[in-house]
Amino acid sequence: MEANIAVPTDKKDIWNGGGGKPFGASYGKMMMWYFILSDALTFSGFLAAYGLTRFKFIDTWPIADEVFTHVPFVHGDFPMIYVAIMTFILIFSSVTMVLAVDAGHQMKKNKVAWYMFATIIGGIIFVGSQAWEWNTFIKGSYGAVKTTEGKLLQFVKDGKQIALADFVIGNRTDARVQHTKKNGLWFEEEGTIANYSVAQVIQAYNANPEIQVRTELIDLDKKQKTILSREAGAAMLARTDRVVEGANLEENEYGNTIFADAFFFITGFHGFHVVSGIAINIIIFFNVILGTYEKRGHYEMVEKVGLYWHFVDLVWVFVFTFFYLV
């Protein structure tokens, strides 16, 4: 007996040199779905690793409401406000992408171009905002000191964290040139020298009885870091060996160093995806202007890049949840 195999006869329903279209999708669209699936697994692995690491160090993990409190050109603490604005802009750009795809189905070239342009602008604003946030995170807001055992100590007044500049007076008393490969040993260099020395910080602490020291250890019931008495704080400060300002891959003023490592890596990886999406959108935008897809008789390329853009937006929702909300 011979098996009867149905072979599509309509060229629109077959891939070049192959069988029927799975789910009626073109080859390019199906490959985009494969890429999105593989990339989703990659992000899932990163976020799962972040979640497990945070759970392991939950008692010393930085509190997001104390880290992400800045808004450009505005002074004061506004926890999550700017991150929420960034998220809204990215999600809104996904809406304009939907409208571009819909306009493409209707073969309305001008509308496709305008909605694509709005999507590109939204992506650029988001990436610019993320770069500003990185810069703020790297520079730091308050400053802290670190003990010889690697424990981070911050300073509070009336229960609220304060910056070193709020109570330490004057510049470094041991000011010196930063050690780099050009002015020191050719094979060694050091990080940026802090604005204050440990001796200055201890002296300022002793001269201000209203200031207290708090550790990076979190009271999980109160969701606040542990504040020490004046005597216990002085004893801890006696064991400090350096001042920490800002964040990098080796240490950060906010708490556990792994938090900064994960923040830079995962948000940076997502930012790379957004930049890639902006570049592709710009190419597609100019093709729309030149009438390339009008000549082809369809705007499938707009739809394919739209799938990628929606994926990038969706991933940010999970990154936003893991880093800022949970």
Domain harbouring 73, CATH code = 1.20.120.80
> Which positions ≥6 away from 298 have C-beta within 8 Å?
104
Beta strands 160-161 and 152-157: pairing type?
antiparallel
Residue 123 to residue 127: CA distance in whole angstroms: 6
Assess if residue 87 is contained within a domain.
yes
Q: Are residues 136 and 282 located together in one domain of the fold?
A: yes
Q: Are residues 133 and 267 located together in one domain of the fold?
A: yes
Q: What is the pLDDT of residues 7-46, one digit of tens each?
A: 444 445 554 555 556 666 788 888 899 999 999 999 999 9
Residues 48 and 56 sit within 8 Å (Cβ to Cβ): no
Residue 42 to residue 20: CA distance in whole angstroms: 30
Assess if residue 89 is contained within a domain.
yes
Assess if residue 5 is contained within a domain.
no
Its domain, for residue 51, covers 24-140+259-325
What is the domain count for the chain?
2
Q: Is 195 a residue whose pLDDT tops 70? A: yes
Assess if residue 2 is contained within a domain.
no
For position 94, what pLDDT does the model report? Answer: 96
Residue 143 to residue 172: CA distance in whole angstroms: 14
User: Cα 100 to the chain's mean position, in Å?
Assistant: 27
- Asked which of 121-125, 165-169, 203-207 is least confident by mean pLDDT, the reply is 165-169
Q: Is 2 a residue whose pLDDT tops 60? A: no
Residue 198 to residue 250: CA distance in whole angstroms: 19
Assess if residue 8 is contained within a domain.
no
Average pLDDT over residues 253-273: 94
Assess if residue 6 is contained within a domain.
no
Please give the residue that has the higher pLDDT: either 5 or 190: 190
236 closest CA partner among 252, 220, 217, 259: 217
State which of 182, 214, 245 marks the end of a domain. 245
- Asked which of 82-96, 139-153, 216-230, 284-298 is least confident by mean pLDDT, the reply is 216-230
For position 40, what pLDDT does the model report? Answer: 96
Q: Are residues 116 and 149 located together in one domain of the fold?
A: no
Q: Are residues 135 and 155 located together in one domain of the fold?
A: no
Q: Is 260 a residue whose pLDDT tops 90? A: yes
Assess if residue 200 is contained within a domain.
yes
For position 20, what pLDDT does the model report? Answer: 53
Q: Are residues 209 and 305 located together in one domain of the fold?
A: no
Mean pLDDT score across all residues of the chain: 87
Rg of the chain (C-alpha set): 27
State which of 245, 269, 300 marks the end of a domain. 245
For position 321, what pLDDT does the model report? Answer: 93
Using alpha carbons, list the distances in angstroms from residue 8 to 23, 93, 215: 13, 38, 70
Residue whose pair of structure tokens reads 């599509």 in the numeric block = 8
Q: Are residues 123 and 168 located together in one domain of the fold?
A: no
Residue 11 to residue 14: CA distance in whole angstroms: 5
For position 30, what pLDDT does the model report? Answer: 87
Spell out the alpha helix ranges (H) of the chain: 27-56, 64-67, 81-105, 109-139, 198-207, 230-237, 257-290, 292-296, 300-320
Assess if residue 263 is contained within a domain.
yes
Using alpha carbons, list the distances in angstroms from residue 178 to 27, 253, 316: 57, 20, 38
For position 169, what pLDDT does the model report? Answer: 84
State which of 215, 245, 275 marks the end of a domain. 245
> Which positions ≥6 away from 197 have C-beta within 8 Å?
172, 173, 174, 243
> Which positions ≥6 away from 174 have C-beta within 8 Å?
197, 199
Output the six-digit token pair for 288: 């729309």
